[in-house]
Structures are given as C-alpha cells and as structure tokens.
Amino acid sequence: MSEQDPFLWLEEVTADDAMAWVRERNAASVAELTGGARFEELKSEIRAVFDADDRIPYVRRRGEYLYNFWQDAANPRGVWRRTTLEQYRLAEPDWQVILDVDALGEREGESWVWQGAAVLRPDYRLALVNLSRGGADATVIREFDLETREFVTDGFELPEAKNWMRWISADLVYVGTDFGPGSLTSSGYPRVVKQWRRGTPFDEAEVVFEGKPEDVSVYATHDPTAGFERDFVGRNIDFYRTERFQRRGTEFARIDVPDDSETDVEREWLLITLRSPWTLGTTTYPAGALLATRFDDFLAGGREMTVLFEPDAHTSLTYHSWTRDHLIINTLHDVQSQLFVLTPGPDGWQRSELPGVPAGELSGITDTDPEVSNEYLMNSSGYTEPATLRRGDLTGEPEILKQAPGLFDTTGLRVRQLFATSADGTKIPYYVVGRSDPSSRPTLLSGYGGFEVSLTPSYLGHVGRAWLARGGTYVVANLRGGGEYGPEWHSSAVKANRHLVYEDFAAVAQDLIDQGITTPARLGIQGGSNGGLLMGVMLTRYPQLFGAIVCQVPLLDMRRYHELLAGASWMAEYGDPREPEEWAYIKPFSPYHNVSADAQYPPVLFATSTRDDRVHPAHARKMVARMLEQGHDVRYYENIEGGHGAAADNEQLAFKWAMVFEFLWRTLT
C-alpha cells in the first residue's frame, strides 16, 4: 500500500510543505472552534483547574526532603522544589526552589520541558536532570548539584537523544544513548550499555552489555542498598518480554524467570509477577500471580516459591510497593481498589488490610522510602471525590496531609458501574458519571484497551467543569486489552484477537443507547495514542453509533506504524504488518486503509503534536488528508510543541481541551 500512498510526504515532520499543510489545517480549526464566548469560558475554567494554587502538590521523598515539581500561571514550565515533612504539613509550606525551568529556558533560549530527575542515593546531593525541547521523548541529560542549585561544571551530560543515564556512584554512571551507527535498536532506543567514569572522555566509555538490533531496548541499573549492592542489565526483547541478568564485573548471571514476567529485587527478596502460567516441578502458578523467593537462593538454583497473590475472575494485582520492612500490594476487584500489607517473618509472610483506605474511592501508593523507613504516601479519589493525600508508617491509621478542593458542582451527580455484553458474551465493565434523572443527555465515552493499561476512577477537574457541570454524562469503558482483570484480560485481545477490543467498546456504546442514557446523535467518544487507534476503528467500523469523535495523538496507518518512530516496539501488541498472515488480521482494523468515500461518518476532530516523537504525527495528518480528499466532515489541530501529551504547559493543555469540549458541545447538542 505504501508505494501508492499519495500522502507519504506528510511523514516528513518539519518539511516546508508538510508544515504549510499543518498551518493551513490549524488555521481552519482555530477559526471554527475558538474565539466564541463558550470557548473562552471553557479555556478559562480548564486553565484554572490546571493552575489552581490549592491543588495537592504531590511529593517524592529523597532523604530528609520532599520534592515536588509544580506548574502554575506564574511558572508555566514549572519549578522543581523541596520542603520538609514538618513544613509540608502546613497549609502553605516554605518551598525551596531547586530549579526554575522557565528561567532556565529564557536564559538558554530553549523551550525546555521537565522530564524528571534521578537523584543519587544515599546522599541525595547529585541529580541527573532530564529536559526535552518542546516536550518530546528525546531528552538532554545534565548533572545537577542540589545544594548549590547549579548544573555541575564539566559534569555528566548527554546531548538530545532517546537517552537514559543511571547512577552507579558519584563518579560512575551507566549510559544508554545514540553512540553512532548500529547503537540503536529498530525501535530507535539504545541497544548498547556503557559505563562512563567522571573526568574521562565520553568516547572512552566502556561497553558492558549489548542487546540485539531487533530488541526494543536495553537497560542497566545499580542498587546501592547497604549490604545488598547489586547491578542488573537486560534486554527488552519486545514490549512484554525481557531477558535479565545480574552483572558481576564481566560476568552475567541469568535471572531465569519467564521472559514475559516482571521482577523486583529488594534486599534479600526476588518478587516475580507472572503474565502467563509458569510450571515449576509439579506446581503451575497462574498468570497474574505474585511470587516471592530469596534472590541468592534462586540464582543458586533454588525454586521454592511463596505465593503472595493469586488472581480470581474478579480480582487482579495492579502493583506492589516496598517499605523498609513490609510489602504493600494494590489490587483491583471489579475495577475497585483494595490494598494489603504483607510482612515477611520467621513464620512466613503475614497479610493484613492496609489501614485507613477509604471505601468507594480509588486509592494508590504514590511514594515509599524502602531504604530507611516504613513511611508511605497514599492518594485517594473518585470521579466525584477530590483527592486526599495520606501519610502512614504502618503503626496505625494514616494521617491526612492534604485535601484537594472540589473543582466542580457535584449536586445531582451519581457514579454507577454497569456491565455491557460484548459480541462473544464477555461482560465489559464501564462507569457512568452523570445526572440521576432518566433523560438522555450528551455523553462522552472514553476508552483505551491496550498495553495492559487500566482505566480507574479518578477526579478529573477539567472534565468536571467543562462537561459534567454543564449537564453532560461522562463514561469510561474498561476494555479487554487493558489490565483491569490482570494479564489475561490484556493478552486475550492482542494481535489476531485485537478485534475484541473494538467489539467491547462498541458493546458499551450500544448499551448506553439501549439503556436510554444517550442516543447515537448525542454520543461522543474520545481517546488518545492506542486510544486514538480505537477512535479510528470506531470511525471506520461503527460510525452509526456516534455523533462525534475526538481522535488524539493516534496510530492510524497500521501498514507503516512499525516504520514510524517507536512503532516497531509495539509489534507484540498489534502484530507485524510485514508478515502476510499478520497483515491479514491487522488490515481490517487499520483506519487509514478502511476509510471510505462512500461511507457516512460523524464529525471528527483529530489532534496531535509536531514534537510527538513516540507516535508519529503523520498518522493523523495522512488520515485527515485522505478524509478531506473524500469529502468528509473533519477538522485537525497540531500543536507545534507538546510531545506525546500534545501540550508543553498548562496554557497549551487548556487550549487543547477547550477545543475538544467546544467541538463536542457544538456537535452533540
């Protein structure tokens, strides 16, 4: 198909003709959707949510300080700052600004966007700061001194690439970057791990590990925990399979667990989370189980396992978090959270419920300090319940540290969990948030359905103000392909079974209509990334169910997705279009290849970003070009900055969402 593709020229991201096309399309969409009174109200209300001074400043502990990255109207690109726990308990803590990203960008003439920092344990003085231009995945890495609050002169530094750097010691780091020809995988990520010593030329960094060109990426880490210092390297074979080793100088000891499992080594323990069944001797452990064994014994050949969690038809493991002496596990039971504490001891592992978890809300651990304490931070919220941040140490009920204010009027709103029946009889849960009266209302349905990502209840202030408070109904579908019911909920809908994701979403849409919650003309849908592909499939397969579609940073050309940016890393999810038997099941859900001039489609808004270096903007560009050529009702907006999130700061984010909601209100009412 690609040889006959008339819109390949739109894949040249910043070519003059491609950017001229983008600006022309942007101008048309901006002229249509912005400037009116409702758009300005939407933008102002959404911006106020993102910039609110009284929202919770979430923190991560690094030694004696709690660190926070904060963006508001005065600091659109944000400040990295810190305070103490005693100060954080106050209504207005005394924050010490470590790095002002706006001031840095102005000083250096760059559109810097914060992408996080790795702080060296246990002294917590040096950091490796990641900055991107315009919000791209590619970053610049620079060493920073947290005490002087300055970048380190002649410190560790990497130019822009899809980099990573990990501390080994104050004078030694692991590096993955573009070292030149042959050093990247087919997915565009580092293939080679090097060890770089301070004060030595970068080109003299020592190769310590290599992956294969067809791998997704490689990694290396150092665990500095006193008494348990270890180094690990590995190759990510595909999106779900990893080969892992403990590095001992020039020797590598294979951690012989299933490639598709996830592992965690903490002090003496090795935890293994299974994605598929694993048979050891006469025992088969199910997919979704969490197993524990002693790390050194396992490497020596021991295979004695303790089952810490085993899933059932309604309950799955979401993640686990270590404290100094305990393990906290977070589970989902029909997409509602349950948290437990597991404690190893001489009589085995003891289990109890985590105290202070509020009923009816989704709760999760946001931070722990496993090196020195049993402190944990837990955030709880719901679709209509603003967030509450609690701190506990497993000696009693946790204390409330911060509570976010309500950002929209919830009077008359109720939250319901319903179940639709998919084409094969599977029950698909979904949440409905809206007025309790029985009348049909404009409804916004969102979904994702991929990569084992779970969509769980959370307080979305911008959705509340722009949609719910204005009388709309909001719906979230928990499709197969996600992780809501564990790894098999995901693996049942990959590659040749991908159609199940789309049948699930269509079933939820039809159920909303059948129950009188809405009508096709008043049902809008929205999704991004893999959810953008979902929107494209709904457009081309089920257009009769919808009145409007918002398709954001999407995959759409599934014939060429593996050749565009990071696309090759997702073939374990979608399949390999180069293989005829796999293209045979990919083609039916490739929106770019199924859009037709003869079909009747609802109005569509596509949105993406020039600086998205994960999902290529050409997916959206080419789809819009083809639909315009065919005479369909389509509009397009491409933010010049923003990366995969399609916005580099709160102003851009508010503008983007105001366009989305203006489009939906115009189309569905």
Q: Any idea which residues carry the catalytic annotation?
A: 529, 644
Between CA 505 and CA 89 the distance in angstroms is 43
The closest of 555, 419, 552 to 478, measured between CA atoms, is 419
Between CA 155 and CA 126 the distance in angstroms is 10
Between CA 13 and CA 378 the distance in angstroms is 42
| CA-CA-CA-CA dihedral for 42, 47, 50, 51, to nearest 10 | -150
Between CA 655 and CA 399 the distance in angstroms is 37
Q: How far is CA 391 from CA 26, 28, 338, 388, 588, in A?
A: 46, 49, 17, 10, 49
What pairing do the DSSP bridges indicate for beta strands 327-333 and 242-248?
unpaired
Question: What are the helix (H) ranges across 202-330?
Answer: 295-299
Question: What are the helix (H) ranges across 99-166?
Answer: 101-108
Between CA 633 and CA 109 the distance in angstroms is 40
**Contact between residue 446 and residue 476 where contact means Cβ atoms under 8 Å apart:** yes
Between CA 625 and CA 5 the distance in angstroms is 11
Between CA 63 and CA 252 the distance in angstroms is 32
Residues in CB range of 659: below 8 A, 6 or more apart: 29, 33, 34, 39, 605, 607, 637
Number of Cβ within 10 Å of residue 251's Cβ equals 8
The closest of 144, 148, 216, 225 to 176, measured between CA atoms, is 216
**Cis status, amide bond into 57, omega within 30 of 0:** no
Residues in CB range of 456: below 8 A, 6 or more apart: 332, 335, 337, 362, 484
Residue type, 629: E
What pairing do the DSSP bridges indicate for beta strands 192-197 and 172-176?
antiparallel
What pairing do the DSSP bridges indicate for beta strands 376-381 and 362-368?
antiparallel
Express the helix, strand and coil content of the chain in percent, nearest 5 each. Answer: 25, 35, 40
* Backbone φ and ψ of 296, nearest 5°: -65, -40
The closest of 605, 583, 434 to 495, measured between CA atoms, is 583
Report angle CA 460, 130, 272 to the nearest 5 degrees. 70
**Contact between residue 35 and residue 658 where contact means Cβ atoms under 8 Å apart:** no
The closest of 275, 213, 214 to 576, measured between CA atoms, is 214
Long-range contacts of 264-270 (CB under 8 A, 24+ apart): 264/320, 264/322, 265/223, 265/230, 265/232, 265/295, 266/225, 266/322, 266/370, 267/225, 267/227, 267/228, 268/228, 268/294, 268/295, 268/296, 269/293, 269/294, 269/295, 269/344, 270/294, 270/295, 270/298
**Contact between residue 84 and residue 62 where contact means Cβ atoms under 8 Å apart:** no
